[in-house]
Amino acid sequence: MNKGRKKEEILADLNIRDFYLKFSNKELRSNKEFVLQAVKKDGEALLYASSSLKADKEVVLAAVKNKGKALKYASPELQDDEEVVLAAVKQNVNAISFTSEEICADKKFIVEALKNVNSVEILLNHVKDIEKSRFISTLSKEEILAIANNDGMILKYASPELQADKEVVLAAVKQKGYALEYASEELKADREVVLVAIRQYGMAFGYASQELNDDKEIAIAAVENDFYNFSKLSPRMQEDREVVLAVAKQHGDILKSVRKFADDKEIVLSAVRQFGDSLKYASENLKADKQVVLEAVKESGLALPVSYRHLTLPTNREVLNSDDAEDVKKKEEMRAVKRIYKDDA
């Protein structure tokens, strides 16, 4: 159906048709300019290229840089070309499955690949006849550092000496916070290391030494990055005002767990701005506070009935007619609230 079409028209179509190549004629499948544009739009279009172009390094490199798994359509010679394979696994680590056992057994190549992939584990699974930790143990600290900067999970396979090396562990947890699990016990208790880890991945706090559960700076960083870390803190930290305020700014529902702060206006305001319905956990005094109620209503119209018996009639009208309240997105909820107060108007 492509006969009679000009090459320029088909090339223009590539702007919107990534798979057009499979419908093109034999002449176009052998046209390098055409195929290059196609594989740059979708690397797997290499499947429909001519045999000669599947063996063209420029074309194949363009294809695997777009879709690493396009390596499976390259010629056998290019599937064993280190530059091509490295480009492919850099884009998609699973592309390693389309190269030869000889490439996978080449330590120099594997080390270089490990520095460029986003999953050392997947890559190492394709390394034949070796035990991962044994292979990694043959690498120098400099090689491990270079790999850790790209995938911190290399720490899982590092030697105990390197798992206790602060420079290596910092590089690993900076890239993947949960690599803290594989650090030495001493470094799991190191404030600097733990702070870097939880700021990259909040739940890494679960791997930190329990002695840090009572550290305020660590506690605040932990809850700011993941609310669920609050339950792991020491009882003293769970009652610390700064820590609770940090949680309230992220997760308003915390008010139901920290009734001690039900009359703390700053904490309650932070909480209702995140979750208006948490107004029900505020003190009687703050349920009657106009600013608190308005903030709660702005987040959720259903928060207003909570304050019904606490607000005076004029305040009811002010809340319902306020410009701020008009910003509430849940208009259906607000209409229901207005019906509650229609006799007060």
Q: Report DSSP state, residue 263.
A: T
Model pLDDT for residues 28-50, shown as the tens digit of each residue:
888 898 899 889 989 999 998 99
pLDDT beyond 60 at 102: yes
pLDDT beyond 50 at 16: no
Round to whole Å and give the CA distance between 126 and 195: 34
Q: Are 31 and 6 in contact (CB under 8 A)?
A: no
38 to each of 8, 71, 314, 328, how far by Cα in Å?
Answer: 13, 15, 68, 48
Model pLDDT for residues 160-182, shown as the tens digit of each residue:
999 999 999 999 999 999 999 99
Tell me the pLDDT band of 24, cut-offs 50, 70 and 90.
low
User: Does 205 or 101 have the greater pLDDT score?
Assistant: 205
% of the chain surpassing 90 pLDDT: 50
What is the pLDDT, as a whole number, of residue 58? 97
Nearest to 170 by CA among 204, 189, 147, 194: 194
What is the pLDDT, as a whole number, of residue 100? 87
Structure tokens at 133: 């930790």
pLDDT beyond 80 at 285: yes
What is the pLDDT, as a whole number, of residue 106? 85
Model pLDDT for residues 324-336, shown as the tens digit of each residue:
544 444 444 444 4
Calculate helix-pair angle for 191-200, 166-175, nearest 10 degrees: 20
Q: Report DSSP state, residue 220.
A: H
Mean pLDDT, rounded, for 145-153: 92
Q: Are 119 and 153 in contact (CB under 8 A)?
A: yes
- The mean of the pLDDT values for the chain is 82
pLDDT beyond 90 at 277: no
Model pLDDT for residues 50-90, shown as the tens digit of each residue:
999 999 999 999 999 999 999 999 999 999 999 999 999 99
For residue 137, how many other CB atoms are within 10 A of its CB? 15
Rounded to 5 degrees, what angle do the CA atoms 118, 74, 12 make?
A: 90
Tell me the pLDDT band of 261, cut-offs 50, 70 and 90.
very high
User: Does 208 or 9 have the greater pLDDT score?
Assistant: 208
Residues 6+ apart with CB under 8 A from 306: 277, 279, 280, 287, 296
